[in-house]
Amino acid sequence: MAKDPVRVLVTGAAGQIGYALVPLIARGAMLGPDQPVILHLLDIPPAAESLNGVKMELVDAAFPLLKGVVATTDVVEACTKVNIAVMVGGFPRKEGMERKDVMSKNVSIYKSQASALEQHAAANCKVLVVANPANTNALILKEFAPSIPEKNITCLTRLDHNRALGQIAERLNVQVSDVKNVIIWGNHSSTQYPDVSHATVIAQEGEKSVRELVADDSWLRGDFITTVQQRGAAIIKARKLSSALSAASSACDHIRDWVLGTPEGTWVSMGVYSDGSYSIPAGLIYSFPVTCRNGEWSIVQGLPIDEFSRNKMDSTAEELTEEKTLAYSCLT
């Protein structure tokens, strides 16, 4: 029996990431090869013509799973009855702008979009915030959409997680699919902590720890971490544009695992509402290792944390606390 279509909202849909993301959703990469979708595409009025061009291309691609496209600059129309919301639209930092200026712009965007989702989205709508500062944008959205359960509001750190997997796979000359259980702790920023303390690689003789195979703690605690932290900047330098293909792909990974579940014995990184696990202050949107089952995520508990990791985890939590204070100051 055919499934009912799932309505997926993509904001900033005429932008680079949106353009890379919508065909992946329409092809089934996000929700599976048998799940029909209706895409809701939102962008700002100056991008209306470009947005219509994206809609035209979606029609031209004749995706069998795509059962409709709503392309609009009206936030209420875009949010009506959506089951999943991928918030890609935001105000980018421009030259000469202070952090508070960027934060203030994004606070106003996420405040209005939160209200529209709260009033018009389907019950139990799942939200993924991609636009930076992603963790704090997600926190603002949560504040202004109080009826959406806090477990349904997340931010994207899967891109960083996938970057970490890629670096380890390249270093060890193994398939990236054979590397698992890296962790991104904290903020989607240059203070994030990519942690391989619990990561493993599937070898012929069974699973082996990444630390044992790499056998170079100075690299794992030095260049590996900074490469993952600064990968976005490296891509901008190389392409003269920010990450789009990889961001879109990891957004699909995030939602797919959240909805369809993580493989047994594997965890992924998601920015979620902290409950105080690992002594991270409650009330932050912080990236943790999680497993997903039946459409719900759970923080992986009981992992031993060494002193090096503790310091890194606390440092990125401090930055998020500062961002939260800055964001709330923009509300007054």
| Residues of the chain above pLDDT 70, percent | 100
Q: pLDDT tens for residues 9-23?
A: 999 999 999 999 999
CB 146 within 8 A of CB 118: yes
For residue 332, pLDDT over 80 is answered with: no
For residue 221, pLDDT over 90 is answered with: yes
Q: Please report the pLDDT score of residue 101 as a whole number.
A: 83
Domain residue extents for the chain:
6-155, 157-327
d(CA 85, CA 7): 9
* Binding residue numbers: 12-18, 43, 93, 99, 106, 130-132, 163
Q: What is residue 72's three-state secondary structure? A: strand
Q: Please report the pLDDT score of residue 103 as a whole number.
A: 86
For residue 142, pLDDT over 90 is answered with: yes
Q: pLDDT tens for residues 261-307?
A: 999 999 999 999 999 999 999 999 999 999 999 999 999 999 999 99
Task: Report the chain's C-alpha Rg in angstroms.
Answer: 19
* Binding residue numbers for NAD(+): 12-18, 43, 106, 130-132
Q: What is the largest CA-CA distance in the chain?
A: 59
Query: Mean pLDDT lowest for which of 97-106, 125-134, 239-248?
Result: 97-106
Q: Please report the pLDDT score of residue 97 as a whole number.
A: 72
- The residues with which 194 forms a beta bridge, in sequence order, are 184
d(CA 94, CA 295): 37
Q: pLDDT tens for residues 77-111?
A: 999 999 999 999 998 877 777 777 888 899 999 99
DSSP 108-129: HHHHHHHHHHHHHSPTT-EEEE
Mean pLDDT to the nearest integer, 130-153: 95
Where residue 63 falls among pLDDT bands split at 50, 70, 90? very high
The amino acid at 83: N
The architecture CATH gives domain 6-155? 3-Layer(aba) Sandwich (3.40)
DSSP single-letter state for residue 150: G
For residue 198, pLDDT over 80 is answered with: yes
For residue 216, pLDDT over 80 is answered with: yes
Mean pLDDT to the nearest integer, 182-186: 98
Query: Mean pLDDT lowest for which of 94-98, 167-171, 255-259?
Result: 94-98
Mean pLDDT to the nearest integer, 306-329: 96
Q: Please report the pLDDT score of residue 280 as a whole number.
A: 98
- The residues with which 203 forms a beta bridge, in sequence order, are 206
- Which are the catalytic amino acids? 188
* Binding residue numbers for substrate: 93, 99, 132, 163
Mean pLDDT to the nearest integer, 44-63: 98
Q: Please report the pLDDT score of residue 150 as a whole number.
A: 96
157-327 is classed CATH 3.90.110.10? yes
* Helix ranges restricted to H, the chain: 16-27, 48-61, 75-79, 99-120, 134-143, 158-172, 210-214, 217-220, 223-229, 231-239, 245-260, 307-329
d(CA 159, CA 253): 9
The amino acid at 324: K
For residue 205, pLDDT over 90 is answered with: no
Average pLDDT, the chain: 96
The amino acid at 308: F
Q: Please report the pLDDT score of residue 93 as a whole number.
A: 73
Q: Please report the pLDDT score of residue 284 as a whole number.
A: 97
